[in-house]
Amino acid sequence: MLLLIVLITLEFFDFNYFKIIGIMKRIEPLKILLWTARIWGAISLVFLLFMVGAHLVDALFVSKESLDEGFNSTTEMISFLFFPISSMLGLGIAFKWHRIGGLITTIGIIGFHFFRPDLLFNPMIDGLAFPGLLFLLYSFLNNSKAN
């Protein structure tokens, strides 16, 4: 239905839609996967850097009136290493080496969910780490295409 509306609109404005369809056929699905991973990964990385940076600024420069700041247990510290630290590290590496960065991000989020099963289906946390899985998928599909 949507395609029909688009085609009617293009016909109304006298566009050559056969040329547009020809361009769409040349776009490779692997390139779409890679650019989706890159854009989503860049957004996730910027957000995670902002949140960790704000947390560090708060810890360094704000008065310590509350006793509930910092890590309360080693489980929280290990969870922090798995997410967001390993996600930021993995996404940063994935822009150059897709498989290594995707593997670091994916292992980090699995380890995080191992230590924090209460956050297993949290879409915000999984959504920030999902580009690592996309980079990993791209690296395996691109490798099999090359062979």
pLDDT digits (tens, 9 = 90+) for 47-57: 999 999 888 88
Domain with 123 in it = 26-58+73-146
Q: How far apart are CA 138 and CA 120, in angstroms?
A: 24
Residue 8, domain member (yes or no): no
Q: Which residue has the tokens 């957004």?
A: 43
Q: What is the pLDDT of residues 55-108, one digit of tens each?
A: 888 777 776 665 566 667 788 888 889 999 999 999 999 999 999 999 999 999
Cα separation, 94 vs 33, in Å, equals 13
Largest CA distance in the chain: 68
User: 5: pLDDT confidence band, cut at 50, 70 and 90?
Assistant: low
Position 13 in a domain: no
**Res 61: pLDDT:** 75
Does residue 64 belong to any structural domain of this protein?
no
Does residue 6 come out as left (phi exceeding 0), alpha (psi in the -120 to 50 range) or beta?
alpha
| 67: in domain | no
pLDDT band at 147 (very low <50, low <70, confident <90, very high): very low
pLDDT above 60: residue 146? no
Task: Judge contact between 91 and 101, C-beta under 8 A.
Answer: yes
- In the chain, the number of structural domains is 1
| Total-model pTM | 0.75
